[in-house]
């Protein structure tokens, strides 16, 4: 799976924004924190849920359950808004 | 999920970062590639060269540049447009562009390079528009000649 090219990822100092282009059916903004930003960065290239979790485990000193929960929640939201190409 | 209008979002958050649709703000904003940030308009009047988000007809939103500030309204035109829009008042304006993102890099509208671009782009607009109109006329002429030839042959 990969982040759809119908969305533009933008990271500011305080938040991560995923903005649809005119081609996306979704009209709104996906706003999130640094974690969402990291997951979206991983999704710039074709990847899997497991690969994202592994990268996050290596990057952040957080329990696996928490990472899995964050990744699943983010992927669910991205999927629902059509921001994932699978 | 609650759906907010642009103006409500800007009212709540103070600013909005979004993508543009169309070609009217080329070459500054490219559809599907660039983002713009609009901040809530304050009580002060907008200035010449400001890019503003305002309400158009049929509940549309338009992001174009102010090319003239008049006592009661503004004269506005897209950077890539030929026609001017008149009668846009302060009440119509939702926000003023304060930044944009090109190729992942953020720029403020206070950026010197951007300000020079704005002034030069507007200064050379008459020449650019003249060329554009000529191009449109030539393409119409070509089309009509092609049609006539088709009619004669067919």
Q: Domain of B59?
A: 6-123
Fold of A2-85: Outer Surface Protein A; domain 3 (3.90.930)
A13 close to B (CB below 8 A)? no
B129 part of a folded domain: yes
What residues of chain B, 97 to 116, have a C-beta less than 8 Å from chain A? 101, 104, 106
Q: How many domains, chain B? A: 2
pTM reported for the whole predicted model: 0.82
| Helix, strand, coil % over all residues of chain A, rounded to 5 | 45, 20, 35
The overall average pLDDT reported for chain A is: 92
Based on DSSP, count helices (H) and strands (E) in chain B, helices before strands: 3, 8
Cβ contact (<8 Å) for B17 and A17?
A: yes
Residues 6+ apart with CB under 8 A from A15: A31, A32, A33, A37
B1 part of a folded domain: no
Q: Cα distance from B21 to chain A (closest Cα, Å)?
A: 5
Question: Which residues in chain B come in under a pLDDT of 50?
Answer: 1-2
Mean pLDDT of A49-62: 94
């Amino acid at each position: 799976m990969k982040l759809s090219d119908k969305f533009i990822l933008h990271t500011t100092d305080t938040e991560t924004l995923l903005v649809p282009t005119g081609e996306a059916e979704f009209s709104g903004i996906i706003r999130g924190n640094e974690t969402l930003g990291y997951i979206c960065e991983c999704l710039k290239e074709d990847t899997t849920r497991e690969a994202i979790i592994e990268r996050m485990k290596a990057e952040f000193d957080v329990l696996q359950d928490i990472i899995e929960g964050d990744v699943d929640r983010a992927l669910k939201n991205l999927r629902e808004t059509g921001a994932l190409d699978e | 999920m609650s759906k907010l209008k642009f103006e409500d979002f800007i009212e709540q958050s103070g600013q909005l970062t979004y993508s543009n649709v169309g070609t009217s703000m080329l070459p500054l904003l490219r559809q599907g590639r660039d983002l713009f940030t609009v901040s809530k308009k304050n009580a002060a009047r907008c200035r010449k060269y400001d890019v503003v988000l305002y309400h158009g007809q049929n509940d549309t939103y338009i992001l174009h540049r102010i090319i003239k500030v008049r006592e009661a309204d503004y004269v506005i035109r897209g950077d890539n447009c030929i026609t001017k829009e008149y009668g846009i008042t302060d009440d119509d304006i939702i926000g003023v562009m304060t930044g944009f993102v090109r190729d992942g890099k953020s720029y403020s509208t206070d950026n010197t390079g951007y300000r020079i671009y704005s002034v030069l782009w507007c200064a050379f607009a008459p020449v650019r528009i003249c060329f554009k109109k000529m191009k449109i006329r030539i393409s119409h002429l070509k089309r009509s000649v092609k049609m006539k030839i088709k009619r004669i042959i067919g």
